Chain A
Amino acid sequence: MSFNVNEKGYYGEFGGAYIPEMLYPNVEELRQKYLSIMDEPDFKAEFNQLLKDYVGRPSPLYFAKRLSEKYNTKVYLKREDLNHTGAHKVNNTIGQILLAKRLGKKRIIAETGAGQHGVATATVCALMGIECIVYMGEIDIARQAPNVARMKMLGAEVRPALSGSRTLKDATNEAIRDWINNPVDTHYIIGSAIGPHPYPDMVTRFQSIISEEIKWQLKEKEGRENPDYVVACIGGGSNAAGTYYHFLHEPEVGIIAVEAAGKGVDSGHSAATSKLGKVGVIHGCKTLLMQTADGQITEPYSISAGLDYPGVGPLHAHLAQTGRGEFFSVTDDDAMNAGLQLTKLEGIIPAIESAHAFAVLDQKKFKPEDIVVISLSGRGDKDLDNYIDYFKL
């Protein structure tokens, strides 16, 4: 079975490009050119140089000794939190800004929920001197003030999404509307492994540096390239896609996906798309989607702003449907406690998104000889207010 995208842009039954005709020329141009541009030697050289000197890659693969002792298994952390801007998001924005330049685009738009992707986009736009507009839900703007300030310092214009529920999905709608209104000079940097083909594949390829590094780093440390498990949290699923990519066709590597259960999968306040979603179309792709029986998209909930997306990337929908991926749901409470535990045992404060991935250690029993690589997708600085509130610090 293949877990790569096929010619028409599908992973099994998921994916495709369900876009209004107004977007067709832009998306089609991207579809025709993304692979050949990414394959150009000078593109690769520039991409790799920036990842090394600007982002700070390779990110370490760190053996978490005390965490491993506690769970009686071997846990490695892939330290995406140490990247410039504090998360994996920048791997993708570096790739897409270089691609946008080669497509001759003069203006960048992006959506953001918690602000991490917005900051990563504003950062590369500052780096390249390109105009940047970030759409962000009005509600998220209010609750993520430091990231809004960062984007402004970086020279981006932050435009509030005032429609619908005024959060991430609406910010995405607004970015798409902007792209419809500006069909020639603008590139849309989508932040997750979602959207119309070729976005899920393109974002996955830019993030695949994560699993590429895990392979050689693990070989150095353990004498083998393949761990027994790779674990990542999933909102739209870009860090997960990058963490899994080079292991998708290695059957001995277990793939573990962790979704946000919010206040509980059946509480009515959850973002566990693989459990609650049905096949549907959102933001240009067919995937699993939280929606009413009537096909209206519903608003998910998670304490972590980066995981409250009502859909999941089409690759992940395919992994869930085929059983290639094992999907877990982690509540707000369990994620917060896992975050605090990692801080106390290893001296690392994780983003609340990433903390969800660590809570799997309490749900699944690993063997002592298992090697479990967990993607530590972002650092927790941005979440301090949440940690302070939650733990009454």
Chain B
Amino acid sequence: MNRITQKLQEDKKILSIYFSAGYPNLNDTVQIIQNLEKNGVDLIEIGLPFSDPLADGPTIQASSTTALHNGMTTQILFDQLKNIRESVKIPLIIMGYFNPMLQYGVEAFCKKCAEIGIDGLIIPDLPVDVYADEYKSIFEKYGVINVFLITPQTSDERIRFIDSVSNGFIYMVSSASVTGSQSGFGNTQETYFERIAEMNLKNPQIIGFGISNKETFNQATKYAKGAIIGSAFIKHLSENGSGKIEEFVGGIR
């Protein structure tokens, strides 16, 4: 069974952390992953940096740009992660934009993920329709889970379609925004969280965008299986380097 599916069956709220690979320093990737696991994080999204991350706000853009300046590439990331399964047990997801994957070759990319032990991908600019038509069979062949986003504007009908194509979890974008651009949830979000919770989807949902601290984490996980923190963790890395991860995770739960 895929590590993501297994993790989601545990009777607990999932804390997922995103960071950009190669940030703050090129070779921090593995150490950050190990520290996150050691401090009780359930799932990690490893950002594959891209020159034009159009769904990301300033914090993730900047970390992505720094990572590219540091020399990060798809091949270097795969090399860094080559032996990751010798030390890390929790599910690992690569989150990145479609173009670098297209250049690597979608099949070669999935194959490499399977070899290393990467359990899933999140590709914000690969729409579910194109995935279903052109790439689903490749992902299935290598047992790599593809995770799709929904937003407050996504229609019920489309959510049902996304649910039917998904086989891990659904990434619920908390509000209409790029990453890292809001603080706290109001009534609009709570209504949306409730609406989705009541749809009884076959895939569990994990909420991302706008989760930055204990309060927002608790609010989100009241309705969903888990929550994802990205920009807030990257800010922590910029201020503290890769050393004080315990403090950050400890502050969430």
Question: Scoring B residues 49 to 91 as 1 if CB is less than 8 Å from chain A, else 0, what string do you get?
Answer: 0111111011001000100100001110000000000000000
With both beta carbons as reference points, the residue of chain A lying nearest to B125 in the complex is identified as: A18
A322 within 8 A of B: no
Docked-complex contact B150 and A21, CB < 8 angstroms: yes
Docked-complex contact B125 and A20, CB < 8 angstroms: yes
In the assembled complex, which residues on chain A have CB atoms less than 8 Å from the CB atom of B61? 163-164
Interface size class of B (residues with CB under 8 A): 35 or more
A17 within 8 A of B: yes
With both beta carbons as reference points, the residue of chain B lying nearest to A21 in the complex is identified as: B149
Given contacts A284-B125, A291-B99, whether A297 and B51 have CB atoms under 8 Å apart is: yes
In the assembled complex, which residues on chain B have CB atoms less than 8 Å from the CB atom of A180? 54-55, 176-178
With both beta carbons as reference points, the residue of chain A lying nearest to B55 in the complex is identified as: A20
Chain B nearest CB, measured from A64 CB (Å): 40
Docked-complex contact B177 and A294, CB < 8 angstroms: no
With both beta carbons as reference points, the residue of chain A lying nearest to B53 in the complex is identified as: A173
A177 within 8 A of B: yes
B124 within 8 A of A: yes
Q: Which of A216-224, A260-268, A274-282, A376-384 makes up part of the contact surface? A: A274-282
In the assembled complex, which residues on chain B have CB atoms less than 8 Å from the CB atom of A279? 102
Given contacts A180-B176, A181-B176, A293-B103, whether A22 and B68 have CB atoms under 8 Å apart is: no
A129 within 8 A of B: no
Taken together as a complex, chains A and B put the C-alpha atoms of A157 and B127 apart, in Å, by: 32
In the assembled complex, which residues on chain B have CB atoms less than 8 Å from the CB atom of A363? none
State which of B51, B130, B173, B176 has its C-beta within 8 Å of the C-beta of A16. B130
* Residue among B68, B151, B158 with max Cβ neighbours from chain A (10 Å): B151
* Residue among A19, A278, A281 with max Cβ neighbours from chain B (10 Å): A281
A296 within 8 A of B: yes
Given contacts A18-B98, A164-B52, A181-B178, whether A291 and B150 have CB atoms under 8 Å apart is: no
Docked-complex contact A20 and B176, CB < 8 angstroms: no
Taken together as a complex, chains A and B put the C-alpha atoms of A284 and B97 apart, in Å, by: 11
In the assembled complex, which residues on chain B have CB atoms less than 8 Å from the CB atom of A296? 50-51, 68, 100
In the assembled complex, which residues on chain A have CB atoms less than 8 Å from the CB atom of B55? 20, 22, 177, 180
In the assembled complex, which residues on chain A have CB atoms less than 8 Å from the CB atom of B54? 20, 173, 176-177, 180, 283
B residues lining the A interface (CB < 8 Å): 50-55, 57-58, 61, 65, 68, 73-75, 97-104, 124-128, 130, 148-151, 153-155, 158, 173, 176-178, 181
* 10 A–B pairs (Cβ distance < 8 Å), ordered by A: A18-B126, A22-B153, A22-B178, A164-B52, A169-B52, A173-B52, A284-B125, A289-B99, A294-B73, A297-B99
